[in-house]
Amino acid sequence: MTESALASFSFGRPAGPDFDVPNSARMSDHLLNGKDNFECDRRTVAELLRAAPELPALARAARDFLMRSVARLAAEHGIDQFIDLGSGLPASPCTHEVAREHGPCRVAYVDHDPVVAVHNRALLTGHPGVRAFEDDLCSPEIVIARLSAMDVIDFGRPVAVLFGDVLPYLPEPAQTVRAFRNVMTAGSALVLSHLSRDRADQGMVAAVEKIYACTGGLSVRTDAQISELFTGFAHAPEVLDVRPDPDVPGLTSYAGVGWRVRGGQTRAATAAPTTGQRQNASAT
């Protein structure tokens, strides 16, 4: 999907009060310098940036981590099935574009936002093996059943399950991750990034969570809480830290790739990273 294709496809003005109510998907689009957002989203993001000015760079770092992980899984590990959960509005390059640089693949994009789902389906028309679904990640068993029943994903083969910055929006993220873990065969991979509060001050975290309350809520969790989401996976953590000065408090992201290994056994979860494992956004 090219930048010009993304720029030429627009929501248009929605009916009713949506025009005046900020939306988390459109806010994320604005943080990534996208074009599919409204004035109410931009005003809310401006308020966010007064509390946490690092958010745009952090959103880009998390996006880069996700795409970098997809490329490595496809090129180095031969994974050719990807489920992009909470995919949000398209940002170029997309998961299927990156994966297909290394061979044929199947990709399922899943988001609970109906406008996002319609937007994705329109843009993905003409891409065999790529599907977009509107489903609620709070009901992961339904998502899994639909992907299986429609022969989109074969859970008997390795699959990469992607949670790119979506788990902060779920009240019980462990339940969703666990449901997917239980159907992932050996050789499958979990990729996730999640906002972390460990290097921020409490006032900043409270302000960000309060602002997101108008979109349905968001939780900024600790490294230790995020690490627990990798239970049942062998993983190595990575801190995405875009702060110019590590001594100045700010939001960071805890990210990682987790592996399902033979027989469902895993190594003990790696301890949460320290600030000495800082990963700058410019790293590749």
* Residue 190 near residue 177 (C-beta atoms within 8 A): yes
Ordered strands of the 189-196 beta sheet? 130-134, 106-111, 81-85, 160-164, 189-196, 252-259, 234-240, 278-279
pLDDT at 106 over 90: yes
Q: What is the pLDDT of residues 177-228, one digit of tens each?
A: 999 999 999 999 999 999 999 999 999 999 999 999 988 999 999 999 999 9
Q: What separation in angstroms does the CA of 201 have from each of 205, 207, 250, 251?
A: 7, 10, 7, 9
CA 187 from chain centre, in angstroms, equals 21
Confidence tier at 18 by pLDDT (50, 70, 90): low
pLDDT at 264 over 50: no
Question: Sign of dihedral through CA atoms 117, 194, 209, 217?
Answer: positive
Q: What is the pLDDT of residues 131-177, one digit of tens each?
A: 999 999 999 999 999 999 988 899 999 999 999 999 999 999 999 99
Task: Tell me the average pLDDT of the chain.
Answer: 86
pLDDT at 277 over 80: no
* Residue 248 near residue 265 (C-beta atoms within 8 A): no
Question: Sign of dihedral through CA atoms 77, 82, 87, 90?
Answer: positive
Q: How far apart are the first and last CA of the chain?
A: 22
- Which tokens is 123 given? 């843009």
* Residue 73 near residue 84 (C-beta atoms within 8 A): no
- Which tokens is 164 given? 């790119």
Which residues of 220-270 form beta strands (DSSP E)?
Answer: 234-240, 252-259
Distance (Å, whole) CA 164 – CA 132: 16
Confidence tier at 36 by pLDDT (50, 70, 90): confident
- Which tokens is 147 given? 């992907």
